[in-house]
């Protein structure tokens, strides 16, 4: 696979004109929103393995004690230097000497988060210092040298500062006595021919270390030095490109968005601020590019999880500690994924720390959590995290004492992650990831509530999942690679309302995926894989029929026709996919692909051909386009024999998108993408079944269309500022039955504007804000009501579906972070204030018993959330 | 389904007292239909059913008009009980009972749902336009619908429906029976104001700022068992309360011993009397009304 990435930014290195050991430069790369929106994550920039000193002719006159030459070095995917260019010269003979030396450098290749080695261009500042004058004849025997060894660690995190130049200078700073470089663990050792000197360290991206040392001649000392990281210095920006398999794929590094206002540090919540994601009031659904909530899904390393957020949208069910990045693809995704017609959100998990024991303890209004990670051996590293909510402690404080509601188990959630990584050699990585989540509450409703007498008695809700995923990745050669994982899981959903309504589903899952890629020639690459979802389930239910999108829920008491079953079954959905990548000329990629799915619930095959193309028309501008077929099996209740119609077809969407990316200047990226989706075979309730039970409950008779434009401006200026402006214009319509008028989709939000920014003036403070302005959701007006005497409920008479629209939503969230850094740990506190100006945003209507009066149902008022986190 | 379950949490929080305060449904300020009492509750193809609508309203009101209609095939609650065969609902008139203008029970309507449904199918067949999805023959079980519309002078029009299960093979051998109301006590458990289907003559006094205990005892055996799918269930008995003055702390209570409090608040000046009704239901069509129960009111 031909892939190219580039790093720009200052990197300091020193070199002397004499062949003495010289410090090795450190390359720090932080992929950021300042990078192009769809950039891969460069997790491991090239590391300099061999530094060659620049040699200038003897007798060269230096204009200053030190001159610097800034070089652009193209490092190939194998780590070899392909080309060197002088970006900022110091004149001859320094430029030629620096370039000649750099051509003899060798690197370990830069790697993406996927492990793939990619070509990278780095900017390298080479300092050439004037040769030290030969010391004068000693009048007396030199003192015995001081043997100083030690470690350079980042202050607060104790992260080893590898490849950092260190030197011992004379007390007056005029003379360098000896030089060295820290190793991978941040260690160094110097023999200093003086007993009083100044230790100088210049780790990239950190403050300069200057420590005065006084020792006895011949003394051996070992010390640890903590160096503070520096905001805005030595930060590289990825601005290269790699093969894109999706034309709109936002890769969000987890630590980047941890401080986004309004998300309480929850990375998975932050992605909902990207273009294409509709705002949801309650529920935390993924509404991507106008598709229904069930048409998109969240994945952890490719493994689909049943619920992405605790209790609607309070927190994500996978804690951010071990998140590396999040892939957000609102549509036209690659053939690796199927069974969906919307979009996907995939969490990439990082490996545990391999340098030292690290951890954190986190406490905030919602929950408290703890995490640890450490190397277990030279090849193993492990980590664990656990989080539990506080809601059950706080909720009783706000519920009135005379309330009709009492909790025997107040709402609470927990989630956990255990992971272990084994890297027996560079080309193999094996990872075990065990993670899970549970939301639970048990309540007692002394009397019926709302407008429905059926809703009373015990209320029990429990949603839990537990997965064990084992992944093996092997890079057979730079052009041949595979990744295979298998996942075992348990899912439980138990819901009980009152004595007769319940839904209990217990599922054992076996999922697997294997992807193989081979780059036969630089211009062609093939990728193929298998993707399996399977499940064994036990289900017992007695429920009314669940309303579908666009349908209004009817009071439970008014529904005499219940769905009852108690059964077991299996579900198998294997799939195979293949993709080719042609690069007919530099800058053009064409990716045809196909995916074939089988689904046992409807006993049908589906074949989804897809095509993506990308053309870099200028160094900073690319055009892109994609088209494809996306098919999705019906929901289980739609295709089951006891509640639905097993003869249904998968619903189908033709998706088209085209766009442009442009980088007007370093750190700023613009994206504009238009899309159109043609929906057919939507599963719709068969009204005839209400009259004649022998009729199928659902039919593939619905259609729809969705179109829109997504725009994104992302900016990152060092580590001081990052942010983005996302604006989406989209319309989404459905036609439920032939001959019926087209209606709005329930989350049709024409305008979605989100502005996010975080400013870090120093390492101690960060200030963030988020502003959202979003069209109100459609709603179905109610013109009257009929009294259902059997159920003692009023049944509304509704107008045209979704013909009304709520007032727009707008809210400003702000966040302040303060960090105290100590040598061995770091404490941070944040105040995240949602809805600062306390706007009463309408989220729906609340009606009286006979629907003759209504009042706005408003969203959260101003809500300050305070959090504390200690990291070590 | 998972997300929907989670979304019930806000509903529970609303139940905890976080919702907007409307006029409670238990406060009668205009004409209301409290119940449609049917007997029997389930019918065979040739059985007849008798229906009585309970209409209540503020003192001094009177019923101006009423109308009954029948629909054998309703689209259901999701569509506001629209009739799938409006031709039948409009074209097959029911014998109208004499109008009872006073609030209280209407004069009873007696009709045979099975025969009316067959008339409907015959009407549709004759017209040659059987709507899509409507079967040419009656299915084994169908829930037919009686619709009742009522207007009162100076008040809003009300519409109510009563669903009656119609079994082609005949009504079940163990039919559903409406729950019975053994007694209603207001003020104290011994202050029984309603027993054996009639007022005891005791008139409790509701004073401003004070609270009266209201206790409804349902008749023994009111909670029947029934089979749904492969499960045997016990009926959920619900008692609803209505008053023309004061406020109940809850609109409903669960039987068989249903208790609420009637608070003497929001009493309009000059109010001297109030009327209370109690309706017991099994939520399967069985309804029993106790009332009117007279209260004396001491307003501020």
CB contact under 8 A, B228 and A500: yes
- Residues A46-51: what's their mean pLDDT? 75
The pLDDT value recorded for residue A83 is 82
Lowest mean pLDDT among A48-52, A70-74, B209-213: A48-52
CB proximity list for B189: less than 8 A, separation 6 or greater: B213, B215
ipTM, 2 dp = 0.94
For B11-22, how does the pLDDT look when each residue is reduced to its tens digit (9 = 90+)? 455 444 445 578
Cβ of B36 under 8 Å from any chain A Cβ?
A: yes
Whether the per-residue pLDDT at A38 is higher than 50: the answer is no
Of A101 and A65, the structure prediction assigns the larger pLDDT to A101
From the CA of A369, how many Å to the nearest CA of chain B? Answer: 22
Interface of B with A in 187-206 (CB under 8 A): none
Cβ of B136 under 8 Å from any chain A Cβ?
A: no
- Residues A846-862: what's their mean pLDDT? 90
The pLDDT value recorded for residue A12 is 37
Whole-number Å distance between alpha carbons of A179 and A190 = 7
Which residues of chain A make contact with B20, given a CB cutoff of 8 A?
Answer: 846, 855, 857
For A650-674, how does the pLDDT look when each residue is reduced to its tens digit (9 = 90+)? 999 999 999 999 999 888 999 999 9
Whether the per-residue pLDDT at A26 is higher than 60: the answer is no
Cβ of B80 under 8 Å from any chain A Cβ?
A: yes
Whether the per-residue pLDDT at A114 is higher than 70: the answer is no
The pLDDT value recorded for residue B35 is 97
The pLDDT value recorded for residue A18 is 31
DSSP string, A472-523: EEEEEETTEEEEEEEEEEEEEEEEEETTTEEEEEEEEEEEEEEEEEEEEETT
Cβ of B113 under 8 Å from any chain A Cβ?
A: no
Residue A157's pLDDT band, with cuts at 50, 70 and 90, is confident
Whether the per-residue pLDDT at B292 is higher than 60: the answer is yes
CB contact under 8 A, B8 and A453: no
Q: Which of A556-570, B26-40, B225-239 has the highest mean pLDDT?
A: B26-40
- Residues A192-201: what's their mean pLDDT? 89
Cβ of A637 under 8 Å from any chain B Cβ?
A: yes
CB contact under 8 A, A797 and B80: yes
DSSP string, A801-851: TT-EEPPPEEEEEEEEEEEEE-SS-EEEEEEEEESTT----EEEEEE-TTS
From the CA of A691, how many Å to the nearest CA of chain B? Answer: 6
CB contact under 8 A, B22 and A694: no
Whole-number Å distance between alpha carbons of A614 and A519 = 18
Interface of A with B in 523-562 (CB under 8 A): 542, 546-547, 551-555, 557-562
**Nearest residue in A to B164, CA atom:** A790
From the CA of B273, how many Å to the nearest CA of chain A? Answer: 25
The pLDDT value recorded for residue A304 is 96
The pLDDT value recorded for residue B219 is 95
C-beta neighbour count of A393 within 10 angstroms: 10
Whether the per-residue pLDDT at A569 is higher than 70: the answer is yes
Whether the per-residue pLDDT at A40 is higher than 60: the answer is no
Cβ of B155 under 8 Å from any chain A Cβ?
A: no
For A317-335, how does the pLDDT look when each residue is reduced to its tens digit (9 = 90+)? 998 899 988 899 999 999 9
- What are the φ/ψ torsions at residue A387 (nearest 5 degrees)? -145, 140
Residue among B133, B134, B162 whose CB faces A790 most closely: B162
Interface of A with B in 385-404 (CB under 8 A): 399-400, 403-404
For A789-821, how does the pLDDT look when each residue is reduced to its tens digit (9 = 90+)? 999 999 999 999 999 999 999 999 999 999 999
CB contact under 8 A, A694 and B236: no
* 3-state SS, residue B43: strand
C-beta neighbour count of B268 within 10 angstroms: 9
Lowest mean pLDDT among A22-31, A331-340, A548-557, A702-711: A22-31
Of A340 and B76, the structure prediction assigns the larger pLDDT to A340
The pLDDT value recorded for residue A120 is 81
Task: Please state, rounded to an integer, the average pLDDT across all residues of chain A.
Answer: 85
Of A48 and A277, the structure prediction assigns the larger pLDDT to A277
Q: How far is CA B43 from CA A689, A764, B117, B234, in A?
A: 22, 78, 12, 21
CB contact under 8 A, B25 and A848: yes
The pLDDT value recorded for residue A405 is 60
Q: Which of A361-365, A413-417, B20-24 has the highest mean pLDDT?
A: A413-417
Cβ of B171 under 8 Å from any chain A Cβ?
A: no
Of A233 and B142, the structure prediction assigns the larger pLDDT to B142
The percent of residues in chain A predicted with pLDDT above 70, rounded, is 88
CB contact under 8 A, B6 and A796: no
- Residues A149-172: what's their mean pLDDT? 88
Which residues of chain A make contact with B67, given a CB cutoff of 8 A?
Answer: none
Whether the per-residue pLDDT at A138 is higher than 50: the answer is no
Which residues of chain B make contact with A560, given a CB cutoff of 8 A?
Answer: 143, 163, 165, 284
Whether the per-residue pLDDT at A65 is higher than 90: the answer is no
**Nearest residue in A to B12, CA atom:** A405
For A125-134, how does the pLDDT look when each residue is reduced to its tens digit (9 = 90+)? 787 777 655 4
Residue A140's pLDDT band, with cuts at 50, 70 and 90, is low
**Nearest residue in A to B250, CA atom:** A447
Whether the per-residue pLDDT at A637 is higher than 80: the answer is yes
Which residues of chain B make contact with A282, given a CB cutoff of 8 A?
Answer: 7, 10
Cβ of B167 under 8 Å from any chain A Cβ?
A: no
The pLDDT value recorded for residue A9 is 32
DSSP string, A240-308: -B---SSSS-EEEEGGGSTT-TTTTT-HHHHGGGSTTBPP-SSS----BTT--GGG-EEEETTEEES-S
The pLDDT value recorded for residue A87 is 78
Taking a C-beta distance cutoff of 8 angstroms, is the pair A488, A510 a contact? yes
C-beta neighbour count of B63 within 10 angstroms: 21
Residue B294's pLDDT band, with cuts at 50, 70 and 90, is very high
Taking a C-beta distance cutoff of 8 angstroms, is the pair A227, A153 a contact? yes
For B96-123, how does the pLDDT look when each residue is reduced to its tens digit (9 = 90+)? 999 999 999 999 999 999 999 999 999 8
Residue of A285, A494, A787 to mutate, interface with B, max B Cβ within 10 Å: A787
Residue of B82, B225, B255, B283 to mutate, interface with A, max A Cβ within 10 Å: B283
For A731-783, how does the pLDDT look when each residue is reduced to its tens digit (9 = 90+)? 999 999 999 999 999 999 999 999 999 999 988 999 999 999 999 999 999 99
Lowest mean pLDDT among A98-102, A189-193, A623-627: A98-102
The pLDDT value recorded for residue A102 is 86
CB proximity list for A742: less than 8 A, separation 6 or greater: A733, A734, A735
**Nearest residue in B to A553, CA atom:** B78
Lowest mean pLDDT among A231-240, A346-355, B163-172: A231-240
Residue among B80, B238, B287 whose CB faces A798 most closely: B80
Burial classification of residue A378, based on how many CB atoms lie within 10 Å of its CB (0-12 exposed, 13-18 middle, 19 or more buried): exposed
**Nearest residue in B to A464, CA atom:** B2
Which residues of chain A make contact with B285, given a CB cutoff of 8 A?
Answer: 790
Task: Please state, rounded to an integer, the average pLDDT across all residues of chain B.
Answer: 89
Residue A90's pLDDT band, with cuts at 50, 70 and 90, is confident
Residue A410's pLDDT band, with cuts at 50, 70 and 90, is low
- Residues A58-73: what's their mean pLDDT? 76
The pLDDT value recorded for residue A402 is 62
From the CA of B60, how many Å to the nearest CA of chain A? Answer: 22
Q: Which of B40, B258, B279, B43 is nearest to B179 (CA)?
A: B279
| Structure tokens that stand for B254 in this block | 């669960």
DSSP character at residue B15:
I
Which residues of chain A make contact with B258, given a CB cutoff of 8 A?
Answer: none
The pLDDT value recorded for residue A132 is 55
The pLDDT value recorded for residue A21 is 31
Whether the per-residue pLDDT at B4 is higher than 70: the answer is no
Whether the per-residue pLDDT at A98 is higher than 50: the answer is yes
CB contact under 8 A, A451 and B20: no
From the CA of A420, how many Å to the nearest CA of chain B? Answer: 30
For A490-501, how does the pLDDT look when each residue is reduced to its tens digit (9 = 90+)? 999 999 887 778
Residue among A445, A454, A784 whose CB faces B15 most closely: A445
Interface of A with B in 473-502 (CB under 8 A): 493, 495, 497-500
Cross-strand pairs, A719: none
Cβ of A133 under 8 Å from any chain B Cβ?
A: no
Cβ of B252 under 8 Å from any chain A Cβ?
A: yes
Whether the per-residue pLDDT at A106 is higher than 70: the answer is yes
For B174-221, how does the pLDDT look when each residue is reduced to its tens digit (9 = 90+)? 899 999 999 999 998 889 999 989 999 999 999 999 999 999 999 999
Residue among B81, B163, B233 whose CB faces A560 most closely: B163
Of A131 and A185, the structure prediction assigns the larger pLDDT to A185
CB contact under 8 A, A687 and B2: no
CB contact under 8 A, A457 and B254: yes
Of A24 and A375, the structure prediction assigns the larger pLDDT to A375
Of A156 and A21, the structure prediction assigns the larger pLDDT to A156
Cβ of B81 under 8 Å from any chain A Cβ?
A: yes
Predicted model pTM: 0.82
Lowest mean pLDDT among A172-181, A664-673, B260-269: A172-181
From the CA of A790, how many Å to the nearest CA of chain B? Answer: 4
The pLDDT value recorded for residue A234 is 34
The pLDDT value recorded for residue A238 is 36
Which residues of chain A make contact with B36, given a CB cutoff of 8 A?
Answer: 789
Which residues of chain A make contact with B166, given a CB cutoff of 8 A?
Answer: none
């Amino acid at each position: 696979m031909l892939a190219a990435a580039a790093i720009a930014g200052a990197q300091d290195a020193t070199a002397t004109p004499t062949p003495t050991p010289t410090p090795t430069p450190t390359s720090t790369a932080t992929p950021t929103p300042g990078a192009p929106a769809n950039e891969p994550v460069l997790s491991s920039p090239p590391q300099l393995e061999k530094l060659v000193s620049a040699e200038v002719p003897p007798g060269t006159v230096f204009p200053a004690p030190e001159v610097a030459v800034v070089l652009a070095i193209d490092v190939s995917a194998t780590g070899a230097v392909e080309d060197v260019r002088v970006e900022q010269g110091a004149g001859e003979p320094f430029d030629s000497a620096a370039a000649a030396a750099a051509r003899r450098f060798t690197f370990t290749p830069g790697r993406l988060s996927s492990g793939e080695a990619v070509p990278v261009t780095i900017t390298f500042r080479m300092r050439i210092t004037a040769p030290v004058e030969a010391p004068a004849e000693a009048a007396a025997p030199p003192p015995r040298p001081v043997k100083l060894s030690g470690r350079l660690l980042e202050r607060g995190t104790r992260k080893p500062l590898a490849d950092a130049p260190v030197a011992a200078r004379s007390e007056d700073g005029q003379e360098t006595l000896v030089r060295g470089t820290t190793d991978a663990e941040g260690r160094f050792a110097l023999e200093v021919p003086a007993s009083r000197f100044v230790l100088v360290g210049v780790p990239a991206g950190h403050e300069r270390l200057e420590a005065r040392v006084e020792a006895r001649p011949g003394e051996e000392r070992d010390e640890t030095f903590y160096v503070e990281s520096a905001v805005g210095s030595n930060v590289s920006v990825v601005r290269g490109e790699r093969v894109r398999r999706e034309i709109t794929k936002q890769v969000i590094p987890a630590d980047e968005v941890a401080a986004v206002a309004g998300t309480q540090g929850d990375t998975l919540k932050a992605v909902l601020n990207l273009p294409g994601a509709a705002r949801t009031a309650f529920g935390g659904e993924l509404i991507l590019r106008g598709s229904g909530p069930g048409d998109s899904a969240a994945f952890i390393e490719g493994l689909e999880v049943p619920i992405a957020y605790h209790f609607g949208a309070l927190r994500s069910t996978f804690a951010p500690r071990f998140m590396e990045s999040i892939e957000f693809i609102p549509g036209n995704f690659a053939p690796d994924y199927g069974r969906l017609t919307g979009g996907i959100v995939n969490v990439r998990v990082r490996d545990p720390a391999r340098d030292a024991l690290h951890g954190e303890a986190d406490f905030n209004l919602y929950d408290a959590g703890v995490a640890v990670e450490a190397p277990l051996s030279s090849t193993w590293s492990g980590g664990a995290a656990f989080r539990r909510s506080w809601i059950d402690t706080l909720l009783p404080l706000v519920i009135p004492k005379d309330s009709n509601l009492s909790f025997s188990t107040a709402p609470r959630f927990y989630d956990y992650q255990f992971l272990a990584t084994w890297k027996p050699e560079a080309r193999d990585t094996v990872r075990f990831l065990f993670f899970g989540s549970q939301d639970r509450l048990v309540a007692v409703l002394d009397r019926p509530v709302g407008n429905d007498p059926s809703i009373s008695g015990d209320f029990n809700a429990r949603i839990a999942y537990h997965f064990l995923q084992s992944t093996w990745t092997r890079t057979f050669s730079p052009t041949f690679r595979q990744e295979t994982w298998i996942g075992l899981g348990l899912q439980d959903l138990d819901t009980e309302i009152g004595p007769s309504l319940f839904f209990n589903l217990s599922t054992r899952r076996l999922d697997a995926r294997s992807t193989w890629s081979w780059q036969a020639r630089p211009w062609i690459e093939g990728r193929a894989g298998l993707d399996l979802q399977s499940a064994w389930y036990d289900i017992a239910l007695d429920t009314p029929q669940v309303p579908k999108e666009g349908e209004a829920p009817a009071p439970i008491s008014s529904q005499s026709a219940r769905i009852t079953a108690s059964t077991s079954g299996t579900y198998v959905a294997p799939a195979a996919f293949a993709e080719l990548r042609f690069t007919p000329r530099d800058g053009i990629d064409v990716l045809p692909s196909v995916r074939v799915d089988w689904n046992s619930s409807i006993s049908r095959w589906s074949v989804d051909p897809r095509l993506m193309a990308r053309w870099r028309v200028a160094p900073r501008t690319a055009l892109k386009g994609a088209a494809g077929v996306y098919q999705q099996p019906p929901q289980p209740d739609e295709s089951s024999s006891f509640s639905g119609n097993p003869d249904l077809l998968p619903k189908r969407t033709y998706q088209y998108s085209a766009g442009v990316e442009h980088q007007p200047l370093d750190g700023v990226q613009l994206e504009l993408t238009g899309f159109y989706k043609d929906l057919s075979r939507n599963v719709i309730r068969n009204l005839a079944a209400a009259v004649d039970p022998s009729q199928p409950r659902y039919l593939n008779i619905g259609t729809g269309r969705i179109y829109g434009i997504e725009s994104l401006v992302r900016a990152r200026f060092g580590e001081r500022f990052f942010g983005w402006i996302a604006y989406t214009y989209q319309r989404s319509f459905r036609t439920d039955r032939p001959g019926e008028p087209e209606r709005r989709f329930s989350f049709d939000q024409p305008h979605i504007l989100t502005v996010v920014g975080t400013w870090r003036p120093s390492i101690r403070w960060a200030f963030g804000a988020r502003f959202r302005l979003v069209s109100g959701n459609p709603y179905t007006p109610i013109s009257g009501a009929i009294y259902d005497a059997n159920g003692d409920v009023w049944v509304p008479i509704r107008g045209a579906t979704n013909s009304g629209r709520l007032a727009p939503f707008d809210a400003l969230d702000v966040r302040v972070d303060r960090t105290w850094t100590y040598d061995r740990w770091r404490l941070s506190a944040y105040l995240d204030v949602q809805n600062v100006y306390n706007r009463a945003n309408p989220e729906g209507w609340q009606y009286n018993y006979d629907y003759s009066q209504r009042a706005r149902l408003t969203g959260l008022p101003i809500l300050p959330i305070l959090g504390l986190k200690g990291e070590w | 389904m998972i997300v929907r379950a989670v979304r019930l949490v806000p509903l529970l929080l609303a139940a905890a007292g976080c919702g907007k305060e409307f006029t409670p449904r238990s406060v009668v300020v205009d004409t209301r239909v409290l119940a449609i009492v049917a007997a029997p509750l389930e019918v065979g193809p040739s059985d007849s059913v008798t229906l009585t609508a309970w209409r209540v309203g503020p003192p001094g009101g009177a019923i101006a008009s009423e109308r009954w209609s029948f629909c054998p095939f309703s689209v259901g609650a999701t569509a506001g009980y629209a009739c799938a065969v409006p031709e039948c609902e409009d074209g097959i008139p029911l014998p109208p009972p004499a109008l009872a203008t006073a609030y209280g029970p209407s004069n009873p309507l007696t009709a045979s749902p099975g025969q009316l449904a067959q008339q409907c199918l015959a009407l549709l067949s004759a017209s040659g336009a059987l709507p899509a999805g409507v079967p040419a023959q009656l299915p084994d079980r169908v829930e037919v619908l009686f619709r009742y519309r009522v207007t009162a002078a100076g008040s809003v029009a009300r519409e109510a429906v009563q669903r009656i299960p119609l079994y082609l093979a005949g009504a079940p051998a163990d039919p559903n029976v409406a729950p019975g109301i053994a007694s209603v006590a207001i003020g104290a458990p011994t202050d029984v104001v309603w027993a054996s289907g009639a007022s005891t003559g005791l008139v409790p006094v509701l004073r401003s700022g004070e609270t009266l205990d209201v206790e409804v005892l349902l008749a023994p055996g009111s909670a029947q068992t029934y089979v749904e799918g492969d499960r045997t269930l016990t009926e959920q008995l619900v008692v609803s309360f209505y008053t023309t003055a004061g406020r109940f702390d809850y609109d409903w209570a669960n039987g068989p011993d249903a208790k609420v409090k009637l608070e003497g608040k929001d009493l309009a000046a000059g109010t001297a009397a109030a009327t209370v009704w109690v309706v017991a239901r099994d939520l399967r069509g069985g309804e029993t009304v106790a009332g009117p129960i007279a209260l004396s009111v001491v307003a501020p």
